[in-house]
A and B are shown apart, each in its own frame.
Chain A
Amino acid sequence: MSHSPVEVADDEIEASSLWRDARLRLQKNHLAVIGAAALTIMILAVSLAPWISPYEYDAQNLDLGATAPSAAHWFGTDIFGRDLLTQILYGGRISLAVGFIATAVALLIGVSWGSVAGYCGGRIDAAMMRFVDVLYALPFMIFIILLMVVFGRNIILLFLAIGAVEWLTMARIMRTQVQSLKQKEFVEAATSTGLSPLVILYRHIIPNAVGPMIVYTTLTIPSVMLLEAFLSFLGLGIQPPATSWGLLISYGAETMEEYPWLLIFPGAALTLTLFSLNFLGDGLRDALDVRGSKD
């Protein structure tokens, strides 16, 4: 039965999906494409490190010491005579892994926490956000040291520790998002359909808060990479000779007058990642922003 004339023959229009549209829009955004390409190249390079560099990342040549970039060592060598390019490639594995995984952990906790607090409101919200306040004020270093002692040193712990810090801000942002989305009529519509709050949260609210979270996430990843350097320096993170961009930068900063290349190249790697992520993040946000596509 049909009340109004159906203007289009059934099933002839190709289903247009949100994600496909988003991808198309993303492809039109040159900066985002460049960012994605740079990230891909970087991830490929660090994954294929052993095939790219003829050197072992920890092979020392103490008598060679720190040398400026040359044909043999494109990025130069550090004070142990180790090839810097190789170190950056291997360090990138850790930095990128920490950056992405720890941020994902933070995202998971922060989004769940913030959305529950924002959705429930009232006393539950107050209690949950006070908990966040307490964590904000705790002495971070003591907390890290304790974690390290209780759980021993491993990379998983590193992710947890960083995630445990970064999720706080994520939770706050998410909460604000949810509070405003909660007012939207489609959420009310979902309630009147009889959906349970949990389903409303994950089906109706969280997907709509993706945009701002993406932008904050792209900013979080580089700062997580630097936080890793700090933790490694304290003894929680990775242990030498394994390295990361953050550690290379902090070592390079100490000798930036004598051996500037030890700072410039790792710094460039991190900066490149930051910009790529940011372009990609902005592009993604715009691509996923369905409001922007009409009106």
Chain B
Amino acid sequence: MSLLTVKDLSVSFVTRNGTVQAVRSVNVDVKENALTAIIGESGSGKSVLCYALLGLIPTPPGRIDGGEAWFAGQDLLTLSQRDLRRVRGSQIGMVFQDPMTSLNPFLRIGEQLAEPLLLHTDLSKQQAKIRSIELLEEVGLPDPQQAMQAYPFEFSGGMRQRVMIAMALINEPQLLIADEPTTALDATIQAQILELIKSLQVRRGIGVLFISHDLAVVAEIADEILVMEKGNAVESGDARSVIEHPKHDYTKKLLASIPSGSPRNYEPKPQTLLTIEGLKTWFHTEAKTQPVRAVDDVSFAIQKGEVLGLVGESGSGKSTLGRSLLKLVNITEGLIHFDGINLSTISTPDLKTLRRRMQMIFQDPYSSLNPRMTVFDTLAEPLLLHNLVNRSDLETAVRALMDSVGLARAFAKKYPHEFSGGQRQRIAIGRAIATKPDFIVADEPVSALDVTIQAQILALLADLKEEYGITMLFVSHDLAVIRQISDRVAVMYKGRLEEIGPTKRVFEQPESSYTQRLLRAIPGQNASFK
């Protein structure tokens, strides 16, 4: 039985740059007691579709151009705001992507949790409270009593997402819409949340509409899959058949982009480029008396020419470690030697010279490029600064650089906002390799990108590394990516180094129990990809 039937839904946005058709005549069918997943990359219209169903798109600029959405005998698209409000939070619950921002930071958990009950039922505050505590127990929150009194910031992302799920389910809706509910979470947490959603769906026998960009994630839990690309539904059907026998090229491309391949064999590199001994980077915050020990007593060495994958969950200190190596943050204690130079005691002019040889690529290509500088200026800046080229040769040099990262030369005078995420990351990479550095810290360089783009950028990085002989510290939370690119892997947990070794060894015979836990959480392991 269909729970929700969407027919020919079209949604567009009127912006100052013209009208954008976000969803074009899409049909979706969500069955009772099943998990239907919508897969698509950013801009595919998958989220817009769901929000449009519940009237959560601001109009203007949004506009529903046509279609029907039948749910419980009524067309959601024709309901008045008032009637729609009665559906929201009672018959249809929603879970959003980022649990960090989707809970009201100013209200206690209990208050927010009970709100749908108070809005849609006649329960008293006391009854609502009891019900809320039950729900918190059901989603596996330790100490629900106390949680009711807490504010969202006191919880980790995973806990918050549990609260969000509890909130969405508190009125026992027939349909749960989950919009990328695990994307912002760490791998281990992601696995738990996925499991929770699936088990709740089965236990309650409800319909779930699960939106994700990650095929691997949904592969294990979805019953039905709909693949969307640029507002169109390109393929749909039974989860197994879509994954195992994709018909549409785009679906095939998505599947192919999932990082895979066995770890390469490790060939020890003889020369050491960088060593750190007993590195500590602590932060002192104004309010707290105890410093935050972001990096706590870490020692290892990076060999010339290798890619060292640094893996860890959020808060493990991996990014801080990367920044410490480049002296972008002040270290508290410890020694860093780069090619024989002691970075702890280096003078400012020497550091400037040294910066030519060490560069960084950042996670978010949207914030790592100055929005007011053209590509040309961005790329020219390091060249000029380190006197690598003359003014007269600048243009040639910048073009060569653009060629090497795969950017059309014609884009030289454009600004970052005119580019897609992948193109921006190419610019950022271009900037990093401009000075022909010996060493690059790549801090989650592909985690903000869509899967298909991710694969391209990883390929580019691998090529560049070969070509220029760059040594790289590749920081990521994504084990699949790490496995694909790294020669050796270091695992960090709570500021400490858990384990370091050749990739193959670490993935196949993890020593630390944490690493084992981490490896188990890789999504899609049990799904059968081609």
Residues of A at the B interface (CB closer than 8 Å) are: 1-13, 15-18, 21, 25, 28, 184-186, 188-196, 203-204, 207-208, 290-291, 293-294
Contacts and interface: CB of A to CB of B under 8 A. Distances in A.
B362 A6 contact: no
A179 B409 CA distance: 35
Contacts of A189: 360, 362, 368-369, 428, 431
B418 A192 contact: no
Report the 5 A-B pairs with minimum CB-CB distance, sorted nearest first: A4-B406, A15-B413, A194-B355, A185-B368, A8-B408
A9 B410 contact: yes
Contacts of A207: 370, 372
Nearest to A183: B367
Given A2-B404, A2-B406, A10-B408, A208 B368 contact: no
Interface of B: 16-17, 323, 326, 328, 351-353, 355-356, 358-360, 362-364, 367-374, 381-382, 385-386, 399-400, 403-418, 428, 431, 435, 456, 460, 463-464
Given A28-B16, A194-B386, A291 B460 contact: no
Contacts of A195: 381, 385
| Most chain A Cβ neighbours within 10 Å, of B351, B352, B370, B400 | B370
Contact of A11 (B328, B369, B403, B409): B409
Given A194-B352, A194-B355, A208-B372, A16 B409 contact: no
B403 to A, nearest CB: 5
B360 A188 contact: yes
A207 B378 CA distance: 14
Contacts, number: 124
Given A194-B356, A293-B417, A185 B364 contact: yes
B371 A6 contact: no
Contacts of A12: 410
Given A3-B460, A4-B456, A192-B328, 20 more contacts: A3-B404, A3-B405, A3-B406, A6-B409, A16-B415, A184-B367, A185-B368, A189-B360, A189-B362, A189-B428, A192-B326, A192-B359, A192-B360, A193-B385, A194-B382, A195-B385, A204-B373, A293-B17, A293-B417, A294-B417
Given A11-B410, A185-B362, A208-B371, A25 B16 contact: yes
Contacts of A15: 412-414
A151 B215 CA distance: 74
A203 B385 CA distance: 13
Contacts of A16: 413-415, 418
B408 A1 contact: no
A185 B367 contact: yes
